[in-house]
């Protein structure tokens, strides 16, 4: 069983305020199925808040979120996941007393699959990601790098049209980052999804994204190809101040 794929996940005029503090102010963003879109910005720029809004974990104060033109802004996170938006978190948030396979199967069952088909999907994803030998391992026994990879695998088990990955390379060494880049680059073709990637590692961002959207202070600062973003003086200033040079964001 597979659900119909969505083609566009859109945010229009999204604002989020916590008391008197605005985390986001009038952000427009579009993620298309089949692409990897990077979402970058300095610490506190509003990146995770944006992902929380797109996935239903945070209601926008104003503005809207839509899937193929249908407003989903008021749906719960569970309903948005069932509609085709999967996500990972900065902290893995795995069910640590359960096995790796069980973590994925629970997610797949939540997307509407039977137990048998959910397990088959879980093992297929784990095999593709090189984790099938750890399918029966409890998640509290995993290395940090494997926890990050299982978190991505669990998001894929939801059969998403869109996978939102929040800093998946955080804490990984160079070899792990290289392997992760290969996985992320293949996700659209392998699973037919669009990918939104939050990441501070510029080598990962520049290496796998077709487009990059930059936030600063809760507002959209720039959007374009990796080459355009590397050369954008406003982006360089936002990251490193007035002394930023042309090579600041180079791979």
Asked if 179 and 207 touch (Cβ cutoff 8 Å), the reply is no
For the cut 90, the answer to whether the pLDDT of residue 250 exceeds it is no
Mean pLDDT of 109-121: 92
User: Residue written as tokens 């859109």?
Assistant: 10
Q: What pLDDT shows up at residue 165?
A: 96
Q: What pLDDT shows up at residue 4?
A: 66
Q: What pLDDT shows up at residue 244?
A: 47
Q: Encode pLDDT of 65-85 as tens digits.
A: 999 999 999 999 999 999 999
Q: What pLDDT shows up at residue 178?
A: 92
Give the predicted TM-score (pTM) of the model: 0.90
Mean pLDDT of 228-239: 90
Q: What percent of the chain has pLDDT over 90?
A: 79
Asked if 214 and 220 touch (Cβ cutoff 8 Å), the reply is yes
DSSP 224: E
In angstroms, rounded to a whole number, what is the distance separating the alpha carbons of residues 167 and 72? 24
In angstroms, rounded to a whole number, what is the distance separating the alpha carbons of residues 186 and 166? 17
Q: How confident is the model at residue 2 (pLDDT cuts 50, 70, 90)?
A: low
Q: What pLDDT shows up at residue 1?
A: 45
Token pair in block for residue 181: 């880049």
For the cut 80, the answer to whether the pLDDT of residue 92 exceeds it is no
Q: Encode pLDDT of 13-49 as tens digits.
A: 999 999 888 999 999 999 999 999 999 999 899 999 9
In angstroms, rounded to a whole number, what is the distance separating the alpha carbons of residues 209 and 197? 8
Average pLDDT, the chain: 91
Token pair in block for residue 118: 């959910």
Q: What pLDDT shows up at residue 170?
A: 87
**Helical (H) or strand (E) element with 125:** helix 115-128
Q: Encode pLDDT of 158-197 as tens digits.
A: 999 999 999 999 888 899 899 999 999 999 999 999 999 9
Mean pLDDT of 142-157: 92
Asked if 230 and 206 touch (Cβ cutoff 8 Å), the reply is yes
Q: How confident is the model at residue 201 (pLDDT cuts 50, 70, 90)?
A: very high
Q: What pLDDT shows up at residue 171?
A: 85
Dihedral Cα 112, 118, 121, 125, nearest 10 deg = 100
Q: What pLDDT shows up at residue 193?
A: 96
Token pair in block for residue 148: 């990050």
Mean pLDDT of 107-123: 93
Weakest-pLDDT range from 67-76, 105-114, 192-201, 237-246? 237-246
In angstroms, rounded to a whole number, what is the distance separating the alpha carbons of residues 202 and 215? 15
DSSP 98: S
Q: What structural domains and CATH numbers belong to the chain?
A: 8-83+156-243 (3.40.50.300)
């Amino acid at each position: 069983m597979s659900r119909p794929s969505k083609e566009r996940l859109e945010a229009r005029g999204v604002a989020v305020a916590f008391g008197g503090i605005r985390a986001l102010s009038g952000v427009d963003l579009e993620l298309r199925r089949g692409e990897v879109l990077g979402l970058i910005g300095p610490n506190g720029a509003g990146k995770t808040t944006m992902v929380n809004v797109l996935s239903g974990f945070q209601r926008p104060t104003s503005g809207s979120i839509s899937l193929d033109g249908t407003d989903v802004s008021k749906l719960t996170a569970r309903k948005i996941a069932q509609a085709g938006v999967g996500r990972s978190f900065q902290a893995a948030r795995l069910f640590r007393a359960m096995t790796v396979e069980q973590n994925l199967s629970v997610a797949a069952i939540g997307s509407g699959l039977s137990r048998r088909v959910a397990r088959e999907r879980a093992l297929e994803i784990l095999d593709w990601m090189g984790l099938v030998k750890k399918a029966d391992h409890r998640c509290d026994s995993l290395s940090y790098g494997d926890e990050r990879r299982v978190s991505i695998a669990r998001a894929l088990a939801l059969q998403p049209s869109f996978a939102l990955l929040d800093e998946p390379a955080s804490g990984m060494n160079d070899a792990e980052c290289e392997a992760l880049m290969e996985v992320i680059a293949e996700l659209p073709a392998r699973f037919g999804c669009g990918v939104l990637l939050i990441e501070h590692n510029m080598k990962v961002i520049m290496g796998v994204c077709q487009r990059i959207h930059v936030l600063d202070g809760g507002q959209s600062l720039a959007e374009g190809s990796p080459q355009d973003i590397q050369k954008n003086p406003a982006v360089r200033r936002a990251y490193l101040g007035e002394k930023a040079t042309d090579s600041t964001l180079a791979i």
